[in-house]
Amino acid sequence: MNMFLKSGNFFRNILRRCREPRTIGEILCRAARKYHRKEALRSEEKSLHYTEMKDRAEILAGAFREMGIRFGDRVAVLLPNGRDAVLTFLACGMMGAVFVPLDIFYRRPELKKIIKNLHVSLLIADDSFFPLAVSLYETCPKLKNLVLTQAENADIPSFEKLLQFRKKTDGFPKIRPRTPLLHLFTSGSTGMPKSVLLSHANVIARGREYWRRFPLSANETCYNLAPLFRGAALFSVIIPGICCGIRTVLPASFRPALVWQEMKAENATIFHANPFHFAVLANLSDLEKAPPGLKLCFSSGNRLPAKVAEKCYQRFGIFIEERYGTVEAGGICVNGFPRKGVRIRLTDERGKRIRAADQPGEIRIRTPMMVKEYYQSPHISRSIFRGGWFCSGDVGMRDSLGRIRILYRKKTVIRIEGRDVYPDAVESILRSHPNVKTAMVVRDSRESEKLKAYVSLEKQGSAADILAFCKTRMDAREIPQIEIRDELPRSWKAVAEGAEQSYPVWGKF
> What tens digit of pLDDT does each residue of 280-333 get?
888 787 777 888 889 889 898 877 888 888 888 888 888 999 888 888 998 888
Domains and their CATH numbers in the chain: 2-213 (3.40.50.12780), 340-411 (2.30.38.10), 413-500 (3.30.300.30)
Q: What is the pLDDT of residue 190?
A: 52
The one-letter amino acid code at 482 reads I
- Using CA atoms of 157, 163, 167, 168 in order, give the dihedral in degrees to the nearest 10: 140
Q: What is the pLDDT of residue 121?
A: 96
Q: What is the pLDDT of residue 452?
A: 86
Give the Cβ contact number of residue 430 at 10 Å.
23
Q: What is the pLDDT of residue 71?
A: 95
pTM recorded for the entire structure: 0.81
Strands (E), 135-194: 145-148, 180-185
> Is 507 exposed, middle or buried (CB count within 10 Å of its CB: 0-12, 13-18, 19+)?
exposed
Q: What is the pLDDT of residue 188?
A: 61
CA distance 86 to 227: 12
Q: What is the pLDDT along the chain (509 residues), one digit of tens a residue?
A: 455 445 555 544 544 444 678 899 999 999 999 999 999 999 987 899 999 999 999 999 999 999 999 999 999 999 999 999 999 999 999 999 999 999 988 888 889 999 999 999 999 999 999 999 999 999 999 999 999 998 767 788 999 999 988 876 667 889 999 999 999 988 665 556 789 999 999 999 988 877 666 677 889 999 999 999 888 888 889 999 999 999 999 998 888 888 999 999 999 999 999 988 888 888 787 777 888 889 889 898 877 888 888 888 888 888 999 888 888 998 888 888 988 889 999 998 888 999 898 898 999 999 888 998 999 888 889 989 998 999 988 888 998 888 898 877 776 677 777 677 777 778 878 888 888 887 888 777 654 667 888 888 888 889 999 999 998 888 888 888 898 888 765 443 332 232 233 333 332 22
Nearest to 62 by CA among 170, 190, 198, 211: 170
Provide, for the chain, the percentages of residues in helix, strand and coil under a 3-state DSSP scheme, each rounded to the nearest 5: 35, 25, 40
What length does the chain have? 509
Q: What is the pLDDT of residue 509?
A: 25
Q: How far is CA 111 from CA 231, 480, 486, in A?
A: 18, 30, 20
> What tens digit of pLDDT does each residue of 360-419 get?
899 999 988 899 899 988 888 998 999 899 998 888 899 888 889 887 777 667 777 767
Three-class SS state of 217: coil
